């Protein structure tokens, strides 16, 4: 059963690495294109473009690096899952707060759905990793 749980946890970390690398690449390489899909316009000044790179791009890159680190260092799989789950939980909480304070749109429901499903997968993978034997990850 441990092999199944660890396999699931690793699969979820692969998903996290791929999705967060994809999002990081959008906000690092084409930050204006990434933000415009939400109907938000930025004035194109160097400061506004750099803001997107350093906030969204850096956050998603950090999450991708954390996922890859957890995959490459089995002893750190659990820690990587905790970090990914907490960060994604903060994203979901921010989305819910925005919907409560600022109002709801169709796009927000779609984003909340994908973010929420991802958070559930991350939480389940974290739970599965902690349900393994105590010797997991020993070098």
Q: Report the C-alpha dihedral over residues 69, 66, 39, 97, rounded to 10 degrees.
A: 150
Cα separation of 27 and 113, whole Å? 21
- 28-76 pLDDT, tens per residue? 888 887 787 777 777 778 888 888 888 888 999 999 999 999 999 989 9
Q: Give the mean model confidence (pLDDT) for residues 9-26.
A: 95
Give the pLDDT of residue 131.
85
Task: Look up the pTM and report it.
Answer: 0.84
Cα separation of 55 and 34, whole Å? 13
Contact by Cβ (8 Å): 37, 58: no
So where are the chain's domains? 2-130
- Check the CA dihedral 69-116-34-99 and report its sign: negative
Mean pLDDT of the chain: 89
Q: How far apart are the first and last CA of the chain?
A: 21
Give the pLDDT of residue 1.
80
Give the pLDDT band of residue 139 (cuts 50, 70, 90).
very low
Selection from 103, 102, 100, 71 nearest residue 84 by Cα: 71
């Amino acid at each position: 059963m441990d092999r199944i749980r660890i396999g699931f946890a690793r699969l979820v970390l692969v998903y996290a690495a791929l999705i967060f690398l994809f999002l990081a690449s959008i906000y690092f390489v084409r930050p204006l294109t990434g933000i415009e899909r939400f109907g938000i316009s930025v004035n194109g000044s160097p400061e506004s473009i750099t803001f997107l790179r350093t906030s969204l791009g850096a956050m998603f890159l950090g999450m991708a690096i954390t996922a890859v680190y957890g995959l490459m260092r089995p002893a750190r799989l659990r820690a990587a899952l905790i970090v990914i789950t907490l960060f994604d939980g903060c994203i979901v909480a921010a989305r819910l707060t925005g919907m409560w304070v600022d109002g709801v749109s169709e796009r927000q429901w779609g984003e909340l759905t994908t973010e929420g499903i991802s958070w559930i997968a991350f939480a389940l993978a974290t739970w599965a990793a902690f349900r393994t034997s105590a010797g997991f990850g020993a070098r």
